[in-house]
Amino acid sequence: MDVIRPIFTVNDLAQIPDDGKRYEVLEGDLAVSPSPSWKHQRIVHYVHLWLTERENAGLGKVATAPLDVVFDDNNVTEPDVLFIRTEHLNIIKEANVQGAPDLVVEVLSSSTRERDLGVKAHLYARFGVREYWVVDPEIATLSVYHLTPEGYEVSGPFRRGETIQSCLFPGSPLVVADLFQP
């Protein structure tokens, strides 16, 4: 027997009442995540602080969840952190971001690990997110996905004691250990 499943859209997402959960539409499927842990949020905080310095330098704008990024009618994500370079600020709208941020950061958790490393990585590459950072709190690492014409090329994982240099922020190395402060 064939099963016909509903295809969720950005309009369906807008009708869901705010209940404290995080909702995304990934390839037309509705994905729900529980609220994040303390460790997760501390990492988001430190990534946000580092990116705020880039914003203060005039390189663009940083934002954290909850904020929808609308790629098309059937693909809406809510990244943990995102950065949009100054030349692309036109994708920022009143209600959401409409288009690919230059940088998306996802902090893995047990409920999102498979999604973040699977469907969301493919979506981010397909829609043109130039860099995708994946932070793994369990092993204190950061992996950097650089967009190439063939898709993402992965660097890392980088560990405490190492630094990364993003092509989006030349001359601004990130000390990986800074993301994993208590």
Rounded to the nearest integer, the mean pLDDT of the chain is 94
What pLDDT was estimated at residue 1?
66
Give residue 168's domain range. 36-180
174 assigned to some structural domain: yes
What pLDDT was estimated at residue 19?
82
Please compute the mean of the pLDDT values over residues 76-100 and round it to a whole number.
97
| Number of domains composing the chain | 1
In the chain the first and final C-alpha atoms are separated, in Å, by: 52
Are 145 and 121 within 8 A, CB to CB?
Answer: yes
103 assigned to some structural domain: yes
Express each pLDDT in 16-67 by its tens digit: 888 878 899 999 999 988 889 999 999 999 999 999 999 999 999 999 999 9
Residue 88 has pLDDT above 80, yes or no: yes
148 assigned to some structural domain: yes
Q: State the burial class of residue 89 (Cβ atoms within 10 Å of its Cβ: 0-12, 13-18, 19+).
A: exposed
How far from 58 is each of 51, 54, 130, 161, CA to CA, in Å? 11, 7, 19, 28
What pLDDT was estimated at residue 104?
98
96 assigned to some structural domain: yes
Please compute the mean of the pLDDT values over residues 83-102 and round it to a whole number.
98
What pLDDT was estimated at residue 6?
75
74 assigned to some structural domain: yes
Residue 2 has pLDDT above 90, yes or no: no
Length of the chain: 182
Residue 87 has pLDDT above 80, yes or no: yes
For residue 14, give the H/E element and its range: helix 10-14
Please compute the mean of the pLDDT values over residues 91-119 and round it to a whole number.
96
104 assigned to some structural domain: yes
Q: How confident is the model at residue 182 (pLDDT cuts 50, 70, 90)?
A: confident
CATH assignment of the domain containing 47? 3.90.1570.10
Are 82 and 108 within 8 A, CB to CB?
Answer: no
22 assigned to some structural domain: no
Q: For the stretch 152-177, what's the b/e string if a residue is b when 16 or more beta carbons lie within 10 angstroms of its beta carbon?
A: beeebbbeeeeebebebbeeeebebe
84 assigned to some structural domain: yes
Name 52's Cβ contacts closer than 8 Å, sequence gap at least 6.
Answer: 62
